[in-house]
Amino acid sequence: MAKRKFNKSWLDQHRNDPYVKLAQQRQYRSRGAFKLIEIDEQDRLVLPGMTVVDLGAAPGAWCQVLREKLVGPAGRLRGRIVALDVLPMEPVADVEFVQGDFREDEVLRRLSATLGGSPVDLVVSDMAPNLSGVGPADAARMSDLIELAVDFAVHHLKPEGALLVKCFHGTGYSQSVELFKRHFVKVVARKPKASRDKSAETYLLGRGLKSRQGVRDPYGSTT
């Protein structure tokens, strides 16, 4: 009975969610599209001509947003979008999709091969593990995904590139922040309005890779 009440409560909240209604109106595949839209409006992440990698892309709402921001007046994509997810994803026009588990080396090799050695301007990740309800185990899985995303970004981003990842406040959060600070010149946390208030979800944004010979800030200063 309690489970049934919980499900009904969630469904009622979902139906009445203004972002769900807005996503339906604008034909986005999920309300999550507005999280990326809001962060991009604040930080100007997506610019014409960029190569962007979307990790954990299914169902494809972030790809839709990325495409909107990269399509020129003539309807042609000015840039490149490569997406990856362990789940299948309905095609999004102009998006190259790789299906596989990001935690597997062979899948990472396929993703790298798809990029063909081209450097990346932006990596975005809305990935999250299937939550078990066991706090320490879920935190460890989330931290693992963040570490893999950072490692991928370090090896594929341009020096002035950026990485945006989902994370959760709680166990492991401070370690994820420190990981970002070791690799990026500028690190900020973002909590978009489209992220539900009760959710521990937040996003970490790192910009400008630190060089091995000190810190080179592509945004105008050296620290």
User: Which sequence positions are flagged as catalytic?
Assistant: 166
Residues ≥6 apart with Cβ < 8 Å to 109: none
**How many helices and strands in the chain, by DSSP H and E?**
7, 7
Instruction: Report residue 105 as tokens.
Output: 């080396």
Beta strands in the chain, from DSSP E residues, in sequence order: 51-55, 80-85, 95-99, 120-125, 157-168, 184-190, 201-209
**Torsion sign across C-alpha atoms 6, 10, 11, 12:** positive
Report the candidate in 79, 58, 61 with the shortest Cα–Cα distance to residue 70: 79
For residue 23, what are its two tokens?
């996503």
Angle between helices 135-156 and 105-115 (to 10 degrees): 30
Q: Strand 201-209: give its sheet, edge to edge.
A: 95-99, 80-85, 51-55, 120-125, 157-168, 201-209, 184-190
Residue 82 and residue 96: Cα distance in Å, rounded? 5
Q: Which residue has the tokens 């203004």?
A: 18
